[in-house]
Amino acid sequence: MPEKTALITGITGQDGSYLTELLLGKGYAVHGIVRRTSNLLRSRIEHLRRDPAIYDKNLFLHYGDLSDTTTLRRIFREIKPTEVYHLAGQSHVGLSFEMPESTCDEAGMAALRLLEIARDQTNPLKFYHASTSEIFGNALESPQTEETSMRPTSPYGCAKAFATMLSRVYRQSYGMFVCNGILYNHESPRRGENFVTRKIARAAARISQGLDVDLVLGNLDSKRDWGRAQDYVVAMWLMLQHDKPDDYVVATGETHSVREFVDAAFSFVDLDWKKYVKQDPAFDRPAEPARLAGDADKIRKTLGWKPSGGFEQLVREMVQAEVEALSKS
Ligand code: NAP
Ligand code: F7E
């Protein structure tokens, strides 16, 4: 039996899928919580679920929902996790303005439920909370550090700020091993299709093959600190291997605009983006964070983490993956 047992909420998401691969590679038993869905295909972890050497040997899936406390508690009791990675929840900032109540329940209250369950466990466990740069919102300083004050600008950011503060309170009040990973945007070919980077990469590939004629976006001037998701799950794991729990900013420190992402993606398929990209204010948000750029000095010095590759490489990887997927289909 593996010595380390991880429980991942949000295992079917972008980060959950990469983290699962990382932990399986390190010899963990990995348990994931999945929701009941009308379509059983869980595309990001399907390759693992179909592998008889992995599924039901080192990888186990449990039905559950963040709102269903009794089931979550039962899963903890049955598997006795040594590490919990809490990644699940509605993660789209724009949509959090349209469905604030469920977003706040999933991004905020669910962390409280899980921390309470973790507090009741008799076996020692380490807890990772997926915090975000969105807690800084209209930050008063740039770049932001672990000490920057929280000034969120969306329901999502507010809920994550609540859960981040709560995680600190549980660490300080009960001596629990709880870490906040304050992660800036991280992307990959597995990114959800309605996040801007994947939307752009997909459109560039499809337009280059004559499958689409245009790409409709919102604010092209928005800037983000974009890294690679594969690197960021390593940061999550490193936090739980350290001898003391803490909070860490995880970022590249470099910012680029949506326009720059578009330009790089379309250049990769030899297209002039200006001929294809349209703007529709329907994609604008009621408020946008200003100047989000992370200072990852602490995690670099304390845990030896650093991002691999740069902006150009990320864009290339994402567009390349879309082109390859089209050629296979
Ligand atoms: P994602 O791709 O949107 O995945 C979200 C996961 O949560 C999916 O597995 C989803 O399941 C699950 N989920 C949603 N609501 C649930 C519920 N009520 N009960 C159980 N599971 C539920 O997100 P991600 O990009 O991997 O991000 C992981 C976490 O990090 C999220 O909490 C996100 O807010 C946070 N974060 C992300 C970034 C980023 O740039 N990616 C940056 C900072 C923080 P289904 O597959 O069934 O939908
Ligand atoms: O938007 C602009 C949009 O939705 C990035 C989540 O993982 O990272 C992510 O949140 C920017 C914004 O990511 C479109 O207005 C323009 O300024 O890809 P996004 P996000 O909002 O930064 C943080 C750190 C998280 O924690 C979240 O979970 O791009 N933008 N046009 C657009 N955005 C979208 N989605 N679609 C557009 O058409």
For domain 5-188+227-254+293-308, the CATH superfamily is: NAD(P)-binding Rossmann-like Domain (3.40.50.720)
From the CA of 89, which ligand is nearest?
1
The CA 45 to ligand 1 mean position distance, Å, reads 14
Domain boundaries, the chain: 5-188+227-254+293-308, 196-222+256-289+314-328
Average pLDDT over residues 227-246: 98
The closest residue, in CA terms, to atom 46 on ligand 1 is: 12
The closest residue, in CA terms, to atom 36 on ligand 2 is: 196
The angle that helices 196-208 and 258-268 make with each other, rounded to 10 degrees, is 30
Question: Per the structure block, which two tokens stand in for 273?
Answer: 């983006």
What confidence tier does 180 reach under pLDDT thresholds 50, 70, 90? very high
Q: What is the side-by-side order of every strand in the sheet holding 83-86?
A: 59-63, 29-34, 5-9, 83-86, 126-132, 177-183, 247-250
Residue 1 has pLDDT above 70, yes or no: no
Question: Per the structure block, which two tokens stand in for 50?
Answer: 């179909």
Q: Cβ(66)–Cβ(44) under 8 Å?
A: no
Average pLDDT over residues 50-67: 98
- What pLDDT does residue 15 have? 98
Name the β-bridge partners of 29: 5
What confidence tier does 2 reach under pLDDT thresholds 50, 70, 90? low
The closest residue, in CA terms, to atom 10 on ligand 2 is: 93
For tokens 């869905």, name the residue: 37
Question: Per the structure block, which two tokens stand in for 71?
Answer: 């089931």
Give tens-digit pLDDT for 8-54.
999 999 999 999 999 999 999 999 999 999 888 799 999 999 999 99
Give tens-digit pLDDT for 308-328.
989 999 999 999 999 999 999
Residue 283 has pLDDT above 70, yes or no: yes
Name the β-bridge partners of 130: 181
Closest atom, ligand 1, to C-alpha of 186: 40
| Total length of the chain | 329
285, with CB counted inside 10 A (0-12, 13-18, 19+), is middle
- What pLDDT does residue 39 have? 85
Give tens-digit pLDDT for 133-163.
999 999 999 999 999 999 999 999 999 999 9
Longest CA span, the chain: 61
Neighbours of 188 (CB within 10 A): 23
Assign a CATH topology to domain 196-222+256-289+314-328.
UDP-galactose 4-epimerase; domain 1 (3.90.25)
- What pLDDT does residue 44 have? 98
Within this chain, domains 5-188+227-254+293-308 and 196-222+256-289+314-328 share the same CATH topology: no
Residue 230 has pLDDT above 90, yes or no: yes
Q: Cβ(234)–Cβ(85) under 8 Å?
A: no
The verdict on the CB of residue 257 being under 6 Å from ligand 2 is no
CA distance 235 to 298: 12
Q: For all residues of the chain together, what is the average pLDDT?
A: 97
Residue 156 appears among annotated catalytic residues = yes
pLDDT above 90 covers what percent of the chain?
95
Element spanning 121, H or E: none
Q: Cβ(6)–Cβ(85) under 8 Å?
A: yes
First to last CA, the chain: 40
What confidence tier does 168 reach under pLDDT thresholds 50, 70, 90? very high
Question: Per the structure block, which two tokens stand in for 200?
Answer: 């752009």
Average pLDDT over residues 255-271: 98
Angle at 14 between CA 143 and CA 136, to 5 degrees: 25
Closest by Cα among 30, 33, 20, 7 to 118: 7
Q: What are the pocket residues of ligand 1 if the criterion is a CB atom closer than 6 Å to any ligand atom?
A: 10, 12-16, 33, 35, 37, 65-67, 87-91, 106, 130, 132, 183, 185-186, 192
Classify strands 223-224 and 256-257 as parallel, antiparallel or unpaired.
Answer: antiparallel
CA distance 313 to 298: 25
